[in-house]
Structure 1
Amino acid sequence: MDTGVIHYIFATIVVLSVLGILVTRNLLYAAFLLVLTFLGVAGLFVLAQADFVAVTQLMIYIGSVLILLIFGIMLTNRVSGQPILTQLNRTVLGVLFSVALFASIVYLSQGFHTTEIVAVPHDIQRLGMAILTDYFILFEVVGVLLLVALVGAATVARFKGEGHG
């Protein structure tokens, strides 16, 4: 099969699973869709010959973070006896933030060539230098995105602990 076709298959898996995360209210289903999303992203990394990043994606995100998340959701679900459902609050703000983030990533990745990243993962020192010099802004955008996710998780945990949820 042509790598272009495989690329579009993985991209479709990622997009459809992310859309599923957005529309589902059940947190357990969203977590399983997130596993599918990360698998699709790892597949895209493999196609880009970024094996180090793909393995890191699988081991860190799927192998530990998501398993812990699913375990926490299932344990919380077991204690309360009710499925954990989310409310679709601030949907417009979330859509605007997502569009702005997507536009900034597209803008920042202009001039980014896959041949540059293909050679980098073979040498870890060059990978570190490339992340902290050439791709510093993209690295910071990912860091801010992870910080927002952490603050959101802490906020949800705080409200659950206070009995507001």
Structure 2
Amino acid sequence: MLFYIFAALAILSGGYMVLTRNLLYAGFSLLVTLLSIAGIYVLLFADFIAVTQLMVYVGGVLVLILFGIMLSSRVHNQSVLSESVNKGWGVLISLLTLCGLGYTILKANFAGLSWLQNADTEILGAQKSTVQSIGIKLMTDFVLPFEIASLLLLIALMGAAYIATDNQKV
């Protein structure tokens, strides 16, 4: 039941994000969408991915997007509106994508997967956290890609701060 609540919340807020013209409302709708996706990850016992979703996307990327929207507003006392009015194409492409994903899910043979046949509900209830094993792998085998990704995120943060201060001078 909780999965369906999170899924409906993600779909509704994602739809509102696409259809609204107010960029600030779209940013906050993206926040609700990303939090709903993190809730779905928790329900799927993907605790590391749920925490990563919260830390990277909600805590980093979304904050940068919202700061960029709020700091680049040139018209005071008015909300920032998007210029795009091609909602028909967006709805058509999203419906085609939904039909394609639905067809793929219906044609997939989930019953033939051996790991799914061997899974019991007792095992899923007693499943241990994956954070420790993933953390050890990140700090030993994959330390170089981890550091490169952190440097790229730092450069993106510095660039966003520079753009935001540059727009205030204009």
- Structure 2 length-normalised TM: 0.59
Between the aligned residues of both structures, percent identity stands at 41
Greater relative CO (CA pairs within 8 A, separation 6+): 2
Give the secondary-structure state (helix, strand or coil) at the position aligned to 1:80: coil
C-alpha distance in structure 2 between counterparts of 1:22 and 1:61, whole Å? 18
| Equivalent position of 2:47 in the other structure | 51
C-alpha distance in structure 2 between counterparts of 1:59 and 1:87, whole Å? 31
1:13-41 superposed Cα distances (whole Å, 9 cap, x missing partner): 11221122133211001100100000001
Q: How does 1:1-165 map to 2 (within 5 A)?
A: 5-77=1-73, 79-81=74-76, 82-106=78-102, 107=104, 110-111=108-109, 115=116, 122=130, 124=134
1:107-140 superposed Cα distances (whole Å, 9 cap, x missing partner): 1683457959x88x8365xxxxxxxxxxxxxxxx
Are the structure 2 counterparts of residues 111 and 64 from structure 1 closer, same or farther at C-alpha, using a change threshold of 3 Å? farther
C-alpha distance in structure 2 between counterparts of 1:67 and 1:111, whole Å? 40
Letter in 2 for 1:80: V
Shift of 1:69: 0.2
Shift of 1:88: 4.4
C-alpha distance in structure 2 between counterparts of 1:16 and 1:30, whole Å? 12
The structure that has the greater radius of gyration is: 2
C-alpha distance in structure 2 between counterparts of 1:16 and 1:95, whole Å? 14
C-alpha distance in structure 2 between counterparts of 1:18 and 1:53, whole Å? 20
Give the secondary-structure state (helix, strand or coil) at the position aligned to 2:72: helix
Q: List runs of 5+ in structure 2 lacking aligned partners.
A: 135-166
- Structure 1 length-normalised TM: 0.61
Number of residues paired by the alignment?
Answer: 122
Letter in 2 for 1:51: D
C-alpha distance in structure 2 between counterparts of 1:89 and 1:65, whole Å? 25
Letter in 1 for 2:14: V
C-alpha distance in structure 2 between counterparts of 1:96 and 1:105, whole Å? 14
Q: List runs of 5+ in structure 1 lacking aligned partners.
A: 125-160
